[in-house]
Amino acid sequence: MASIRPVVLSGPSGSGKSTLLKKLMEEYPKCFAFSVSHTTRDPRPGEKHGTHYYYVSREEMTKMISNNEFVEHAEFSNNLYGTSKMAIEKVQASGRICMLDIDMQGVKNIKKTDLNPLCIFIQPPSLEKLEQRLRDRKTDTEEAIQRRLKIANGEMEYSKTQGAYDHIVINDELEISYQKLKGLLIKVSSICFNLE
């Protein structure tokens, strides 16, 4: 039996990925689920092992990486993060579509696996609009905003590469973008949508 293809959403910080995912999960809770990632960072207050992350030691995670147990992994702020094949398969076994929110490097890595992911790039309408969104958040320093914009420019350039993504959704108007995303996902699993 073929498993349901995982769906990868990728795009710059501020592109609206999280907003689109939240809307999708709220409307179709029986259709979609996130895989639970592994990390070497300590749990924050209120976070639970197996719900928010699988919290493991650096030694354990390094061993798992060596054993090719991750479809993608990266290091941020001296902590390792990764998406394991087991976590994706757990979602697939539940009959739901596994949603992955990963960066450009993660997309490159997951495309090398046999998971056959549907990769969708969520693109802001322009770098100028993206900059405005980042500033409107009022959560980042000027340095962080400039760093995010530089990364976003690289991600947007990469998205133009033939075969990098299966689809690109330009997120200018949230509701229009959401309907387009939903239309793409119905093609992946129309059965799931009919269950709602």
Yes or no: say if 110 and 100 are a contact pair by the CB < 8 Å rule.
Answer: yes
Yes or no: say if 102 and 10 are a contact pair by the CB < 8 Å rule.
Answer: yes
| Cα 77 from Cα 188, distance rounded (Å) | 35
- Out of 3.40.50.300, 3.40.640.10, 3.40.980.10, 3.30.1450.10, select the CATH number for domain 7-189: 3.40.50.300
Instruction: Classify residue 4 by its DSSP letter.
Output: P
Tens digit of pLDDT for each residue in 68-99? 999 989 887 799 999 999 999 999 898 889 99
Under the banding of pLDDT at 50, 70 and 90, the label for residue 1 is very low
- Whether the pLDDT of residue 192 is over 90: the answer is no
| Cα 128 from Cα 149, distance rounded (Å) | 9
* Helix segments in 28-139, DSSP class H: 58-66, 85-93, 104-110, 127-137
- Whether the pLDDT of residue 2 is over 60: the answer is no
Residue keyed to tokens 């809770």: 29
Active-site residue list = 44, 137, 148
Beta strands in the chain (DSSP E): 7-10, 32-34, 38-39, 54-55, 70-76, 79-84, 97-101, 118-123, 167-170
- Whether the pLDDT of residue 3 is over 80: the answer is no
Tens digit of pLDDT for each residue in 99-114? 998 888 889 988 988 8
